[in-house]
Amino acid sequence: MDLKYLRDYHTHKKLEKENLKNFAQLNDGIAITRLRKEPKDRRLEFQFDRDKIIHSRAFRRLIHKTQVLVSNKGDHYRTRLTHTLEVSQIARSISKLLGLNEELTEAIALGHDLGHTPFGHIGERTLHDIMSGVHEDTVGVPKFGGFKHNLQSVHLCDHLEQWENENIGLNLTLAVRDGILKHTKLNYKKENGQIEKVKYNVDLRDLTLESDCPFTLEGQVVSIADEIAQTTHDLEDALRAGIIKPDDLLEDELINSAFIRLRRLFDDYKSYKISDIEYISTVRKFSTREFRNYIIGPLVGLLIDDVADNTDIMLQENYPSGVFPENGYDKWIVSFSKPIKEKQKKLSDLMYNFYLGSVEVSVMDGRASKIIKSLFAAYWENPTQLPDYVLKKYFTKPGNPTGNFSRLMLSKNKMASMRDNDTFARLICDHIASMTDNYAFEEYKKLYLPD
């Protein structure tokens, strides 16, 4: 690194230290450790990570992956990419209010769903059931461990993406990888409340699975920003699709809290005050479009402000001396206030019943699950249907990433032995998880439907 680059790098570090709060994560210490050394330039470590993620192939594929409603439903419904960008915006807004490191927050937010499957959460759950030996259609598959998109995101960043020709993986910093891993729970929660542990047979290197809590406040911010985005923007999609009606929401406590916030806007921007009766009358006359356009912004703002205000209180209560843990946080500090959390939970439950449990979403989920199970079964029974680049990973020797592969290697005995190998099962899982919706559907048609 020449003198100009060194000057820029250290100037940025100095400005960061001067402008961020004491509880923010600086580009320093164990947080910026990487799996291997690499050349530095004028960018700080978390900025470099953000740029790697944005330019990755996995990030570009998010545009063709479902959030809840498939993309051919209409042009204005969320995809996994627009959801990711909205999480990033919400997370950065919270970080700015708290004085946290926005570049670390942004890097975690942009990378948090890189490992997500096609067709949304039903794709994730279907792959988990297959890899856990649950699905009857794939009963012959040994129990090679489960699947969860946050663990897959780290696995993808560490082992599947390629940033340099000589090395596999994006080689992200520890703080970014930890935030991506722990933006959601590490295990599944069953309907009866029991925890279903995910045995993920991939190497997560130096990351710990002992706690769901990110060790940086920035990682915690992304986790709650993900909740806010799902609550508010999925609600907007449900209203747009006509699955939820405004009348379904008028008695909801969080929606009414957002209306109080909207009331302030009415008062601020009108030259006169409106009475409660006039206000309620105005709200109840909203069309679905007006309701959607008016309520989502105030709802997002309400939740962001509540998180920022409550986090300030949590910091004061837990660290009254102003001394913060050098090795990171071991408990949740970034959180909703108790009243808002209760209201948010009720709205989430309403969303699940009306939206995620609707006929339209359920039909799409059933179709998606069938496609993924069928793809896995086809590849499992006949590995020759996999692309060369996937099979090459199976036959590549450690330390020899450019080893030769030929389909002559696929003898009957060899293919039979592959089905006893967890590496082969995970390769199929990685291949399907990386697919976009369209690619998965085209593969299904190619394998199962006549031309």
Q: Which CATH superfamily is domain 3-117+149-218 in?
A: Hypothetical protein af1432 (1.10.3210.10)
Q: What does 245-290 look like in DSSP terms, one character per residue?
A: -GGGTTT-HHHHHHHHHHHHHHHHHSSS---HHHHHHHHHT--HHH
| Residues 109, 225 contacting (CB under 8 angstroms) | yes
Cα–Cα distance, 82 to 84 (Å, whole number): 5
Predicted pLDDT at 317: 96
| Short-list 61, 83, 51, CA closest to 172 | 51
> Looking at the DSSP assignment, which residues form a beta bridge with residue 196?
188
Predicted pLDDT at 272: 47
Q: What angle do CA 236, 241, 244 make, to 5 degrees?
A: 70
User: Where in the chain are the domains?
Assistant: 3-117+149-218, 235-359, 361-448
**Which residues in the chain land under pLDDT 50?**
269, 271-272, 399-400
Predicted pLDDT at 173: 96
What's the token pair of residue 247?
A: 């009348």
pTM reported for the whole predicted model: 0.92
Predicted pLDDT at 246: 84
| Short-list 202, 187, 79, CA closest to 152 | 202
Predicted pLDDT at 218: 98
pLDDT digits (tens, 9 = 90+) for 291-304: 888 888 889 999 99
Predicted pLDDT at 153: 97
